[in-house]
Structure 1
Amino acid sequence: MLRTDVPGTEAVPRTRLRWWTELPIILLVYGAYSAGRLLARGDVTSAVDHGLAILRVEKFFYLNAEHPLNRLFTREPWIGIPADFWYASLHYMVTPAVLIWLFRSRTVRYRAARTWLMASTFVGLIGFTLLPTCPPRLLSASHGFVDTMAQYSDYGWWGGEASAPRGLGGMTNQYAAMPSLHVGWALWCGVILWRYGGTRFTKVLGVAYPLITTIVVMGTANHYFLDALAGAVVMGIGLLVTRPVLRVADMVRARLGVRTPAPVTAGRTPVTAGPHAAGSSIVSAGCQTSTGEQFPRQRKVRATPGAEQGAEPGASPTDAGDGAPAPAR
């Protein structure tokens, strides 16, 4: 089927997104991201130096909210334990759930939102590579931080190495703290829920989820405040490059002869091209109407005298050629 977004423009082949093509793409990108995190393991000494530099900057500007939050989470298990579960699980559950919901109920918004998330993730990977950073929990005890994940590890599946399951700590990069994609992905989920949720409850979730996640990553001593801020900046950069990335992807698809999903243009309804050329003035053009078919109460077009093939000069114009006068305008 041919579709065109603007009447009068050339129709372009379109196709719908399918889950069996989307899932491999997402898994491939996530696999590349995870492998990139492991390959981006920098020198531990440099990572510690970067972490201490961030902490000094925060103290200078009175931004080190991690200290009071970490003391609270350490002192109050009824706060610290749920926070550890939040950090260890929701990052990997809520984001895919929002992606699936968007794919099923807001399909026309899905492609741009998915591209935004993926582009931001790769920008974050660049940050991990260029700036390996020691999180607060891995600094020496003299800096006043407690690893709450290790403190409450008896309550969960994680051990003393971030949120990785026991025995699998070597498969994660603990120095990939800058930027915080826990915060970045949570912000993406929040924006999507706020814009497309449609209910007050989803809007509340859209605000609460990234806000609580930001508090959690600092209180558990997994990230600095500037890590969280950098996560938001990364999402902003990803949003800016989303449209160019989509254009490049469409160009590649066109060169490969692959049909691309139809874009959505605000205020314009895609029209299915009919047997007539796009931009035709015929009523049925682009609407798949049969010859002679007429919409209810549709007025017929008055023909120009002599324009009909075989019309005799001086003959009175009619609509059907049966001698009946044309209806008055």
Structure 2
Amino acid sequence: MPHATTATPSSGPRPRWWTELPLIAVVYGLYSAGRLLVREDVPAAVEHGLAILRLEKSLHLNAEHPLNRLLTAHPSLGIPADFAYASLHYLVTPAVLIWLFRRRTAVYRAARTWLMTSTLLGLVGFTLMPTCPPRLLDAHHGFVDTMAQYSAYGWWGAGASAPRGLSGMTNQYAAMPSLHVGWALWCGVLLWRHGRHPLVRAAGVAYPLLTVLVVMGTANHYFLDAVAGAAVMAVGALLTRPFMWIADGVKGRVAALFARPPAVAVPMRSTIVSDGCKTSAGERIPGRRTPSADSIDASTGFAAQASDDAPAAAR
């Protein structure tokens, strides 16, 4: 995984929560709205799903069937897996983000940019390739929707992992890439690299692996969906630094546009009439009396030193 959180283009001031929350909310809102606005072309989505399944079988990568049968046959495994699929995605990711904001400020901005960039890339994938998840394929393909099977045990309905009655507000054909896996990988990388306790680092390894097993066992994703989710995170990591440079440049230009122009210093006008001026010999300055002709020293040609201000006794 590229080192997306080791260095930043600029070490600006610590981000403020009142600016971070709206930014994250806007990006997540765009992501959610984009999923809903993408046209659910069901025949194309089903064909894409079957193509992925055929490719996996040809490569002997079809682990979805045995995992799905395991969770279907054992509620003690299937119910916790459904809870993990429906909740951890929305709990662990914000928790890691808050942890970075509070304890690892130096890497927070790059980590946040990495997550946002990768999420928007995932939206592009949903748009270009709508994909039917295994649980929505025809039953003869051998998959069981564990979310529907165990829906009585959780808050979700039979239609999706969304709360009951809200399954129509989700795009169920946004399986490629798997951002459940992508976000879990983001969490794992950051916990491994910046966690100090061995248990935290161990969780950084276990969480993405567990997520891959859960998304396949619950028949929500193919294995190649998980691979695509990891690939999206890798591309997002590569784009993090350029995006930060662009953001810094835009921020600098906006700040310069709205900045007040610097005050121009106006030179003080001197109150001395002859300040900075030179006169030639014999030139008369207005308001000044000139020496009379008989006060000129014949030997030197200059006026005598006695001035008009001298006392009368000295003349």
Q: Normalising by the residue count of structure 2, what TM-score does the alignment of the two structures yield?
A: 0.77
Aligned partner of 2:188 in structure 1 is 190
Partner of 2:165, secondary structure, is coil
Aligned partner of 1:273 in structure 2 is none
Aligned partner of 1:61 in structure 2 is 59
Unpaired runs of at least 5, structure 1: 1-11, 259-329
Aligned partner of 1:103 in structure 2 is 101
Q: Does 1:163 align with 2:161?
A: yes
- Of 219, 228, 246, which aligns to 1:230? 228
One-letter code aligned to 1:231: G
Quick one: distance in 2 between partners of 1:127 and 1:34? 14
How does 1:132-147 map onto structure 2 within 5 Å?
A: 132-147=130-145
Aligned partner of 1:93 in structure 2 is 91
Aligned partner of 1:123 in structure 2 is 121
Q: Does 1:81 align with 2:64?
A: no
Aligned partner of 1:26 in structure 2 is 24
Quick one: distance in 2 between partners of 1:135 and 1:90? 19
Change (3 A) 1:245 1:215: same
Computed over aligned residues only, the root mean square deviation of the Cα atoms, in angstroms, reads 1.2
Partner of 1:133, secondary structure, is coil
Give the drift of 1:115. Answer: 0.3
Quick one: distance in 2 between partners of 1:213 and 1:43? 27
Residues 158-205 of structure 1, C-alpha deviations (whole Å, 9 max, x = no match): 011220101001110000000000000000000000000111101100
Residues 49-101 of structure 1, C-alpha deviations (whole Å, 9 max, x = no match): 00000000000001010000000000000000000000000000000000000
Partner of 1:257, secondary structure, is helix
The count of residues paired between Structure 1 and Structure 2 equals 247
CA contact (8 A) 1:137 1:222 kept: yes
CA contact (8 A) 1:41 1:175 kept: no
- Of 192, 204, 209, which aligns to 1:211? 209
Give the drift of 1:252. Answer: 0.4
Give the drift of 1:33. Answer: 0.3
Aligned partner of 1:154 in structure 2 is 152
Give the drift of 1:249. Answer: 0.2
Aligned partner of 2:69 in structure 1 is 71
Unpaired runs of at least 5, structure 2: 1-9, 257-315
CA contact (8 A) 2:14 2:105 kept: no
Aligned partner of 1:40 in structure 2 is 38
The percentage of aligned residue pairs carrying the same residue is: 72
Quick one: distance in 1 between partners of 2:168 and 2:11? 47
Aligned partner of 1:315 in structure 2 is none
Quick one: distance in 1 between partners of 2:46 and 2:14? 48
One-letter code aligned to 2:70: L
Quick one: distance in 2 between partners of 1:51 and 1:212? 23
Segments of 4+ in structure 1 off by > 4 A? none
CA contact (8 A) 1:133 1:176 kept: yes
Quick one: distance in 2 between partners of 1:13 and 1:85? 40
CA contact (8 A) 2:121 2:236 kept: yes
Aligned partner of 1:243 in structure 2 is 241
CA contact (8 A) 1:179 1:227 kept: yes
Give the drift of 1:41. Answer: 3.0
Q: Normalising by the residue count of structure 1, what TM-score does the alignment of the two structures yield?
A: 0.74
Compare CA radii of gyration and give the structure with the larger one: 2
Residues 279-304 of structure 1, C-alpha deviations (whole Å, 9 max, x = no match): xxxxxxxxxxxxxxxxxxxxxxxxxx
Change (3 A) 1:18 1:65: same
Aligned partner of 2:48 in structure 1 is 50
More helix by share: 2
